[in-house]
Amino acid sequence: MSNFSTSTTNTEFNPLISLNWRGDRLELLDQRLLPESIVMLDLYTPEEIWDSIHSMKVRGAPAIGIAAAFGVVLGAGQYPNEDIAGWLENVKKVCDYLATSRPTAVNLFWALDRMYAAAVQLSEDPNYVSISSLNEGLVQEAIAIRAEDEEVCRRIGEHALPLFQDGMGVLTHCNAGGLATAKYGTATAPMYLAKEQGMKLKIFADETRPVLQGARLTAFELQQAGIDVTLITDNMAGMVMSKGWIQAVIVGTDRVAANGDVANKIGTYSVAVLAKAHGIPFYVACPMSTIDLNTPTGAHIPIEERAPEEVTEGFGKRTAPQGIKVFNPAFDVTPNEYVTAIITEKGIIRAPFDQNLKALYSEPIS
């Protein structure tokens, strides 16, 4: 167990807000303890941020990026003197360190690249005052990343909402909710906006083995928000579709390749194949910071493999023979032919994804 600073049970817990910058520390909801306990951790060092990302105390592509951005702030603040070149070198070292925390969600690298670019720009400022003013500039960049994510997620919800009608059954996998972002979520953004506008959606949340983000997080936050949510086990997805209970699937993603292949929580590919077999639209909701045009296809996306104990001891007891071989990939790749549309803050992208994703970067935000 890491040497974490004191944790506090936050009585003003807002299920949509999983991380807050407190000036000298990042206050972060320990998502591993949900839904039973609401514990906010106070993180003061990049090492604590690294561990929180790696151990999934904070998880979800945008939330990982935001946490890493504040990890850079905490690391930069540790630099001991007024040497600009040394300060910038230290920022690079912290970024490279945080980049090793998890390999799949491209938002981690997007946020670190943005923080380092900000540090370079700050270090070249002719009006340089002091290292502490450079650090303040990094704080503002991290705060901007978080604030933009909240706005982006709301826009994703606005673009996605017309795809849904009152009374629709919607299946989602894993947690691409407020807990995975600054607020609203990506896949859940239209669910929250539907609730705001009085539209009644019937959400079916896959429990999402082995870490149970659907059961522990999506079911939790949607129930807290008063949204109609039914928890199902992953192997029920086909049955509820065959019963005609599902009119759309919407999920988040950790990385979209240039050709529209989508890496997302393990089990997403199976849901996509089932959706296609039942003629159900399969939507992927994500900010542009999750689209990676430098990764040509899904085959090029690094897929994280996690500890066997997540599978064999995930329920607090051993559920498999001692020493059994385990394959525990945290993600899979859904080929673009199973994707109906990708919903971003700039609008809805449909096939041909390679052309239309590229075009996304040449048009102003609507």
Ligand X SMILES: CSC[C@H]1O[C@H](OP(=O)(O)O)[C@H](O)[C@@H]1O
Q: How far is the CB of 196 from ligand X (least distance, A)?
A: 20
186 touching ligand X, by CB under 6 A: yes
Distance, CA of 84 to CA of 104 (rounded, Å)? 32
Q: What ranges in the chain are assigned the alpha helix state H?
A: 46-54, 61-76, 84-98, 106-123, 131-160, 189-196, 213, 219-224, 237-242, 268-277, 309-312, 353-360
Establish whether 224 is an annotated binding residue. no
What is the footprint of ligand X within residues 305-334 (CB under 6 A)?
Answer: 330
Question: Which string of DSSP letters, residue by residue, matches 349-363?
Answer: E-SSHHHHHHHHTTS
Q: Which is nearer to ligand X, 56 or 131 (CB)?
A: 56
Active site residues: 254
Q: Which is nearer to ligand X, 150 or 254 (CB)?
A: 254
Q: Which is nearer to ligand X, 32 or 276 (CB)?
A: 32
252 touching ligand X, by CB under 6 A: yes
Q: How far is the CB of 23 from ligand X (least distance, A)?
A: 27
Q: Which is nearer to ligand X, 75 or 177 (CB)?
A: 177
Q: How far is the CB of 175 from ligand X (least distance, A)?
A: 6
DSSP assigned state of 1:
-
Size of the site for ligand X (CB under 6 A): 17
Return the structure tokens found at 77.
């603040």
Q: Which is nearer to ligand X, 50 or 79 (CB)?
A: 50
Distance, CA of 116 to CA of 260 (rounded, Å)? 28
Establish whether 265 is an annotated binding residue. yes
In the list 26, 29, 39, 61, the residue contacting ligand X (rule: CB under 6 A) is 61
In the list 98, 145, 174, 182, the residue contacting ligand X (rule: CB under 6 A) is 174
Distance, CA of 91 to CA of 85 (rounded, Å)? 10
Q: How far is the CB of 52 from ligand X (least distance, A)?
A: 12
264 touching ligand X, by CB under 6 A: yes
345 touching ligand X, by CB under 6 A: no
Amino acid at residue number 346: K
Q: How far is the CB of 59 from ligand X (least distance, A)?
A: 3
φ, ψ for residue 27, nearest 5 deg: -90, 120
Q: What pairs with residue 342 in β-bridges?
A: 284, 349
Distance, CA of 223 to CA of 365 (rounded, Å)? 33
* Positions of E strands within 201-354: 202-206, 229-232, 248-251, 255-257, 262-265, 282-285, 291-292, 331-334, 341-344, 347-349
Amino acid at residue number 332: D
Give the angle 317-320-322 at the CA atoms, nearest 5°. Answer: 95
Q: How far is the CB of 46 from ligand X (least distance, A)?
A: 19
In the list 115, 176, 343, 360, the residue contacting ligand X (rule: CB under 6 A) is 176
Establish whether 102 is an annotated binding residue. yes
The answer for residues whose C-beta is within 8 angstroms of residue 44's C-beta and 6 or more apart is 5, 24, 25, 74
Q: How far is the CB of 311 from ligand X (least distance, A)?
A: 14
Establish whether 316 is an annotated binding residue. no
Amino acid at residue number 301: I
In the list 15, 46, 62, 190, the residue contacting ligand X (rule: CB under 6 A) is 62
In the list 101, 135, 213, 218, the residue contacting ligand X (rule: CB under 6 A) is 213
CB atoms within 10 A of CB 189: 30
257 touching ligand X, by CB under 6 A: no
254 touching ligand X, by CB under 6 A: yes
Establish whether 61 is an annotated binding residue. yes
The answer for residues whose C-beta is within 8 angstroms of residue 253's C-beta and 6 or more apart is 61, 176, 186, 262, 263, 264, 284, 285, 286, 290
Q: Which is nearer to ligand X, 114 or 183 (CB)?
A: 183
265 touching ligand X, by CB under 6 A: yes
Q: Which is nearer to ligand X, 213 or 259 (CB)?
A: 213
Establish whether 213 is an annotated binding residue. yes
Binding site residue list for substrate: 59-61, 102, 213, 264-265
Binding site residue list: 59-61, 102, 213, 264-265
Return residues touching ligand X (CB under 6 A): 59-62, 174, 176, 180-181, 186, 213, 251-254, 264-265, 330
